[in-house]
Structures are given as C-alpha cells and as structure tokens.
Structure 1
Amino acid sequence: MSTELGTFLRSRRERIAPADAGLPVTGRRRTPGLRREELALLAGISATWLTYLEQGRDVRPSEQVLDALARALRLTGAEREHLRRLAGDGVTPGQDVTEQAAPEVAGVPGLLGHHPAYVTGICYDLLAVNDAATELFRGVGPGDNVVRWMFTDPAAREVLVDWEQEAGNILARLRAVAGRHPGHRRVTRLVAELTEASPEVRQWWPRYDIQFSHAGRKRFRHPRLGVITASHAAFHVAERPEQTLVVYHLPDSASSA
C-alpha cells in the first residue's frame, strides 16, 4: 500500500473542523482538523484500521470502507476517484526515459488548423503542438513543459487572464498524477524543481488539491486578437491514458481572423 494514500487521508482529515462534522470541541487541540479516532467514528471503522491505512501498511480497504471514508471526509467527485486509485494495486514507477507520442497521435494537432491543440505526456511535457497553440501560448513548442511554463515563465501570467486559478488547476492535476505514480522519477524531479522555483507551488502543493483533465473555458490575451474566451476539451489517448490531447476552440471571430 502506498504511503501516498496515508498522506492524502491525513490532508483531508486536517481540513475538517470537529464542529463542522457535528462533534463536540473539548480542550486544546495540537493538530488541525479531525483526530484519527474522530474520523474513524464518523466513517464507522476501527481507529486501528484507519491507522494502518494512514501508515501505508499492506492492507486492502473494501469499497464500503472507501465510500464511508469519502462521505466522512466530504470528498469531491475527483477526490473520491483519486482515493480509489490510491487504494488500488498501485503502479510500477516509470523508467527515466524520454516519452513520445505515437506518430498517428502526434500528427493530430496539425490536422486541426486554426484550433490550438497539443498532446501532453505524464509530466505535462508537450509531445506535439500545432502552430495555433504556439501562437496562443507565446512560443511554447515540442519538448517544453506546460506546468514549468505556467510557474516559471512570466509570459504565462500575461497570457492567462485568470492565471492564479489556472495555475492552481494544473498543479492539482499534477498532484493527482504524482499520487497515481509514486516514485516516478521524472514526476518527482519536476515537482522538486517547481517547489524550488515557485513560491506558489511551495504554498499550494501541501494542500493536496486534486483535479483531473476536463472540458471548460479559459480567458487568454491573444497576441493578435486581444482578450478572448476559448472553450477546450481534453481526450486521453487510447492505450496510453497518461497522454492527453487538448483542443481549444477560439471564438468564431477569432477563427475567421
């Protein structure tokens, strides 16, 4: 059992105030949030079993236990999914090799014309990117890393109108990846690099926010078109679920321009 599961459970336990969970508050508390015994009570499981889970011992919680913990911890849908993945059989840490997209996948962004599109790998390295995306994201290209660009390139704060929100979102997605692949050398190196380089990462990473790729809308400062709102969708690549195709749809006026 991965110690990542214990880290996740503790982070969520510490977010819930006893009063919010309907528990009486007595005396001074040395730690924030719920005590381990209190969470066990709310979930209807033994404190010993919860201790084993948080310590990363080799135990396998049932679906009923996971559901009870999710309810007691008031997990979001994404957090529930993350909990189930962490409690699974785990994933063998990836090797320290350069990741590539299959030629058929790498060629897709180029087929999308004026729609910005790119393919990312497990660490959010750009495995393929079209000219429209390079223009929108101010010069990023194959081999660049989206998360590194977000937190270390000043252009990111200019390009993304809602930079803080978008930066928090992508860090939450990287947090989910790190949880699914504990010990993955490239993921670990990227997190260490970002933690050293960015005060926001140092502040936000311990919060253990979780998010998965999804469709949505973002506001950009386009170099030719000014401030625009673009919708986007993300698609996982068949047989390589950690590779993702992201496609943006610019406003009709922008597309015609």
Structure 2
Amino acid sequence: MGYRGRDIEVVAINPEQYLVASCDSCGAIGLKILDVVQVPWTITGRLTARVALLEILAVGAGPQVMTVAISNEPQPTGEELLKGVNEELAFAGLTLPMAISTEKNMKTQETALGISVVGLVGQKQLRIGTSQPGDEVFCLGLPKVGPEAANPEDPEIIQLMHLKRLLGISEIHDMIPVGSRGIRAEADQLASNSHSRLLVDPSCPLNLAKSAGPSTCLILSASRPVTGPVFSDFKQMPIHKIGKLI
C-alpha cells in the first residue's frame, strides 16, 4: 500500500487480513573500535528489536516472525546482539521464530544490525488513518537519542507492554512510534494520513524536532484527553499534549 513516511509496508493477503512488515537498522552503536556510541551489544540488540516490534504493534498487528541480519562475526558480537534481541522479546512477553544471518567472511570494525518483523492484522483492526478532525494528539515518553537512550528499561521511554495496553483503549485512534525524524514530523504524518492538519499546542515543552533515537516515545491521537484513569498504571511515564487535528 505504500505508507510513505513510516517504516512499515502493508499487503493484503485476502479480503479480511493484511501482512505488515517493519524494519529497523542500527550502525556504529556497540563495542567495536569504530563504534560512535560505546554500549554493550545486548543493549544494541534490545533497542533495535523494540523499534521493529513497536511499529508492528502500533498498527494493531500481531508479530509472527522476525529476521535478524548481523553484519558482524558470530562471536562475540553476533552472540551478544542476539542475546539482547531475546531479552527484549522476553521483557515484552513475546516468543517469535527467527531467521538469523551473520558475517563469516570479513573482519568488521563497526557494529551493524538490521531487524525485520512480519505481523498479521485483520482489516478492521488495522490502525492507520483512523484519526478524526477534533482528535487531540499526545506524546507518551520523552525523545532520547545516543547515550541518553542507553537504558532499555528507562521509565521515561515507551515500552512494548505500554503499547499493548494502549490497543485496548477505544478512545485512542492512530499510534506512531517516533524515530529520528522527531515528534513534529511524525505528528504531521499522522495528520496527513487522516486528511487533517496538526495545530500545535504552543504550551508543549518538548523539542518537537529532536530525534527520538530507538523510538523512545510514541505519539497518538485520541477522541478525548488521555489523562487520569486511562494512564494511571503508567507510573512515571511522561505524557504531553502536542496539539489538535483540525
């Protein structure tokens, strides 16, 4: 279908179901000599896996299979990256079959990882372009990038478990994980997909242009304010109103 501006693709497999594919890549983040951000490979694996999984869950699809392309040697880099991927799956309560490939011919000096996830969703459950004029747009979590995003369990960043709970709230329409383009670009994409325009709330304290790195925050549209009991179990998770769709 070609959802421009989003790291997903949606294909109809029959009149009632869609396949949804997502992907994320990560380079120069790890423990190799030329890596720009020095963090354990398990962290790289966790954060890259969560981005691809967030994209699938955000459109209402259930993850079915994952591919892990590691452009580094099987040991120790590949082994540690895979350990991180499996830790993220366990943290989210998911189990997925995987197709895995590593680099066995060339010596590498930078960490490089690519992860894809394929999910399945019913036609009526697909959450793309479901926003409506008058919806308010919120950001859940804070945009963080580089060393700021080195803790996969940071209480200020969105988690897969949060997104799974959001899917059960009828007042919430579209959800988009924020990446390197920043909050404003993703919010404009959300508005465009629903043939509306974003009116930004001037009191919003967030830097709307800042990269959110490995999708540390999520924007969503809702037909009523998402405060109070709706997010009472999200504890320290920051919530900010971005604006309104008109």
TM-score normalized with structure 2 length:
0.25
Relative contact order higher in (CA < 8 Å, ≥ 6 apart):
2
| Greater fraction of residues in strand | 2
TM-score normalized with structure 1 length:
0.24
